[in-house]
Chains A and B, each alone.
Chain A
Amino acid sequence: MRPRTRVLVFAGGAAGTAALFTAGTLGLPAFGGTLHPYADRAVHQAVRRGTPNVVSSVNFDQRAFDTLGEELILLSAAIAAVALLRVVRREDERDGATLRHGPAEVSDALRIVGHLLLPLTLLIGVYIVAHGAQSPGGGFQGGVILGTAIHLLYLAGDYPALQRLRPIPVFESAEAVAAAAFVLLALAAAGASPAQRVPALNTAVGIEVGCALVLLLGKFFEQALLIREHRETGDTRETA
């Protein structure tokens, strides 16, 4: 299809969608109004079951089975990305320790701040996962902080240290174990009390999200920094 025809077809479809969507929103309750039947029921249930953070209660107690499905989407997307970014036959992976990667000339201030913030950020991530049932936070948010925290080392200009801190096979196994733990916990949760269930599921999700992010970012880093085709670059290791 030519670009012009495509835009014309899209314009027709978009106009129809916009008309239907506008008609639909006119029938919705007014923005900011007092009619929230689901919210009232969810808050009532969460308070009755003793979870002060209602968002965590919805995710890991009232809709735990739906969260299980979403977790499996996350797991399969991460596995598929890792499988797509593997080293293929024509390529070669260079050894990161022999090369100085990343922003070669980072200022000392950035280097120091990066190293100082790393333990602090990890601590904040653990806190947000652990207190997800009581205060704002939870497995998803804390997992993202945990997964991105160790990449502060890359921003600080130390890619070899990042590689030592982040052995990919360990994180692959940890993600699989966390996903399995989440499935088992969700199945076993029928008998447990919400006070135990929400923190346990929070932890499993936090570990899984963190590992998935580390894996994905690590694979993209490898792709950009370490993996080279034989033919294009004439890698020195072939002749050596």
Chain B
Amino acid sequence: MSTLPYLTAGWIMLAGLYGVVTSRDLVHAVVCVSVTQSGTYVLLLAIGYRSGATAPVFSDRPPPPAGRPVTDPVVQAMTLTDIVVGATVTALLLALAVQVAKRRATLDPGALRTLEP
């Protein structure tokens, strides 16, 4: 089944979103956002995959058409920046959660009503 990797990516994304929607804890919600984001990594890498191909690095072998075919480097580069930026954004969201916990003594999004006491 050749579409299974793409469908897996969509499934991971929806599973993460389900976690965000039903979350009772802000830290849990942040982790679910990370899960949602990892769905995009799977999609990008699935799009770039090529059967029988190797990594797009040519320091020790000839580039195509002489050598073996390589996987798509464009989506790999995008995944790479995605991971690093995603980690920093996760840190920002966790910092927000720390401040919410300090000011309101709760992490339940349902218990938060107004912005400032």
The reply to whether the CB of A212 lies closer than 8 angstroms to some CB of chain B is yes
Q: Mark the stretch among A38-46, A92-100, A149-157, A160-168 that contacts chain B.
A: A38-46
Asked whether A14 is an interface residue with its Cβ less than 8 Å from the other chain, the reply is yes
Contact of A7 among B22, B77, B84, B98 (CB under 8 A): B22
Q: How far is the CB of B8 from chain A (nearest CB, A)?
A: 10
CA distance A52 to B95 in the complex (A): 39
CB pair A67–B81 under 8 Å, yes or no, is: yes
Q: How large is the interface on A (under 10, 10 to 19, 20 to 34, 35 or more residues)?
A: 35 or more
**Interface bits A28-60 vs B (CB < 8 Å: 1, else 0):** 101111101011101100110000111101110
Is there a chain B Cβ closer than 8 Å to A239's Cβ? Answer: no
CA of A73 to CA of B17 in the docked complex: distance in angstroms? 23
Q: Which listed residue (A7, A26, A213) contacts B3, Cβ 8 A? A: A26
B36 CB to closest chain A CB (Å) equals 12
CA gap between A30 and B46 in the complex, in Å? 10
Docked pose: A26 CA to B4 CA in angstroms? 10
Assess whether B95 is in contact with A81, with CB atoms less than 8 Å apart.
Answer: yes
Chain B nearest CB from A80 CB (Å) reads 5
Are A10's CB and B57's CB within 8 A? no
- B58-108 with Cβ < 8 A to chain A: 58-59, 63-64, 69-74, 76-77, 80-81, 83-85, 87-89, 91-92, 94-96, 98-99, 102
Binds B, one of A111-119, A135-143, A176-184, A193-201: A135-143
Please indicate the chain A residues that have their CB under 8 angstroms from the CB of B92 in the complex: 77-78, 80-81, 84
Q: Would you give the shortest CB distance from A203 to chain B, in whole angstroms?
A: 16
B residues apposed to A, CB below 8 Å: 2-7, 10, 14, 17-18, 21-22, 46-51, 55-59, 63-64, 69-74, 76-77, 80-81, 83-85, 87-89, 91-92, 94-96, 98-99, 102, 110
Provide a sorted-by-A list of 16 A–B residue pairs whose CB atoms are within 8 angstroms: A7-B21, A18-B10, A21-B7, A26-B3, A33-B51, A39-B56, A42-B73, A43-B63, A43-B73, A46-B56, A52-B59, A58-B77, A70-B81, A73-B89, A81-B94, A140-B80
